[in-house]
Amino acid sequence: MGKNTEKNTSHILLNFTKNLFTGMGFIPLLILLLVVITALNQKNFATFSNLQNISRQFSLLALIAVGQMFPILMAGLDLSQGGVMGAVSVLSTLAMLEYGVIPGCILGILIGGMFGLVNGTLIALFNISPFVVTLGMMSFARGLALMITNGQSIYGLPDSFSYLGTEYIGPFPVPFVIASIIFFISYIILHRTRFGRYIYATGGNEQAARISGINVKLIKACAYMYCGLLAGLASVVISSRVNSGQPNLGTGAPLESIAAVVIGGVSLFGGEGKLRGVFLGVIVLSLISNSLNILNVNSYLQMMIMAMVIILAVIVDRFRYAKD
């Protein structure tokens, strides 16, 4: 009898931990913990200017994480984000010097979309692994950026360009407003359009989606294109913030965006995950990074901590979607 009760308690405990980690409950908990620890230790955490700082960090990560969510929902991923951001930064600022700020920005976003479209088309048409295609694209785009600039940064941009990265609309930094708009648009796409439904269907079961009459190849190409567009947008915003074209922009982008998406509960196996989750995932990551900064943690150690968080997130993902 005693043995039985013991078994039951351990069973309940196991279930509880499992629910804690697999349900959405664990993310808000993590956020709360971070905020409390940092605020207790450092006075400049809970200040208005730091809040704006966090929101700026949040916005940039949000753009690439929302983009990354689309390929991941289709059981793929986009490793080329960083390289594409480098190429976009260089090409858009060069265009800006020739044709002006607005055409330069628009061109930058479109170039990002083009890279994404090429990724998606290769993956869909030849049915090759997204890992290989986007890994190749990462190197290609980075190489292109470095070749054009010979490894140098591009300076001398119009002052008006810095508006995107540094100004405010009311109390909100411009990037935060942009990220909010992107969240809204992406929500509509995912939950209120056929494209969004088809992404979930294709990610959930590609063959069944095809048999249901969905043009799976087109959906794939479009998903990667959307990811590329957002990488382009992110690159333009960051370039504006540093007011220069940087061929080495966004080196850590894919790792961080994948981390935010996975922490947000989007399954790496495809077909499952909510934008709400990605939102929380982005908050968690930007809070962690901000806290580590404020706590003056060595930046190399920061890299190691982030890496561990990311791997932990993937382990949790395993738990969550493990078939029992």
In whole angstroms, give the CA distance from residue 318 to residue 197. 24
Q: Which is nearer to other proteins, 39 or 75 (CB)?
A: 75
Q: What are the angstrom distances between the C-alpha of 293 and each of 54, 155, 249, 301?
A: 11, 28, 20, 11
Q: Which is nearer to other proteins, 170 or 213 (CB)?
A: 213
Of residues 20, 181, 208, 308, which one binds other proteins by CB under 8 A? 208
Determine if 22 is a binding residue for other proteins (CB under 8 A). no
Of residues 50, 162, 166, 215, which one binds other proteins by CB under 8 A? 215
Listed ranges 34-42, 76-84, 208-216, 228-236: which one lies at the site for other proteins (CB under 8 A): 208-216
Q: Which is nearer to other proteins, 168 or 319 (CB)?
A: 319
Query: What one-character DSSP code corresponds to residue 289?
Result: H
Determine if 127 is a binding residue for other proteins (CB under 8 A). no
Name 153's Cβ contacts closer than 8 Å, sequence gap at least 6.
244, 245, 246, 247
Q: Which is nearer to other proteins, 272 or 316 (CB)?
A: 272
For 296, other C-beta atoms within 10 Å of its C-beta total: 8
Q: Which is nearer to other proteins, 172 or 200 (CB)?
A: 200
Of residues 21, 172, 187, 200, which one binds other proteins by CB under 8 A? 200
Q: Which is nearer to other proteins, 276 or 307 (CB)?
A: 276
Listed ranges 22-30, 117-125, 199-207, 228-236: which one lies at the site for other proteins (CB under 8 A): 199-207
Query: What one-character DSSP code corresponds to residue 25?
Result: T
Of residues 17, 139, 152, 193, which one binds other proteins by CB under 8 A? 193
Determine if 188 is a binding residue for other proteins (CB under 8 A). yes
The structure tokens listed for 264 are 């947000």
State the number of binding residues for other proteins (CB under 8 A): 22
b/e 188-214 (16+ beta carbons within 10 angstroms → b): ebbeeeeebbbbbbbbbebeebeeeeb
Q: Which is nearer to other proteins, 129 or 212 (CB)?
A: 212
Listed ranges 64-72, 145-153, 188-196, 275-283: which one lies at the site for other proteins (CB under 8 A): 188-196
Name 35's Cβ contacts closer than 8 Å, sequence gap at least 6.
45, 287
Determine if 19 is a binding residue for other proteins (CB under 8 A). no
Q: How far out from the chain centre does Cα 174 lie?
A: 18
Listed ranges 61-69, 195-203, 221-229, 288-296: which one lies at the site for other proteins (CB under 8 A): 195-203
Of residues 14, 29, 40, 211, which one binds other proteins by CB under 8 A? 211
Q: Checking phi first, is residue 106 left (phi over 0); if not, alpha (psi -120 to 50) or beta? A: alpha
Instruction: Give 3: exposed, middle or buried? Use CB within 10 Å, 0-12, 13-18, 19+.
Output: exposed
Determine if 214 is a binding residue for other proteins (CB under 8 A). yes
Cβ(218)–Cβ(203) below 8 Å: no
Of residues 272, 297, 302, 320, which one binds other proteins by CB under 8 A? 272
Determine if 69 is a binding residue for other proteins (CB under 8 A). no
Name 50's Cβ contacts closer than 8 Å, sequence gap at least 6.
44, 290, 294
Of residues 75, 135, 197, 274, which one binds other proteins by CB under 8 A? 197
Nearest Cα to 115, choosing from 143, 148, 75? 143
In whole angstroms, give the CA distance from residue 108 to residue 106. 5
Q: Which is nearer to other proteins, 178 or 209 (CB)?
A: 209
Point out which residues bind other proteins (CB under 8 A).
188, 191-194, 197-198, 200-201, 204-205, 207-215, 271-272
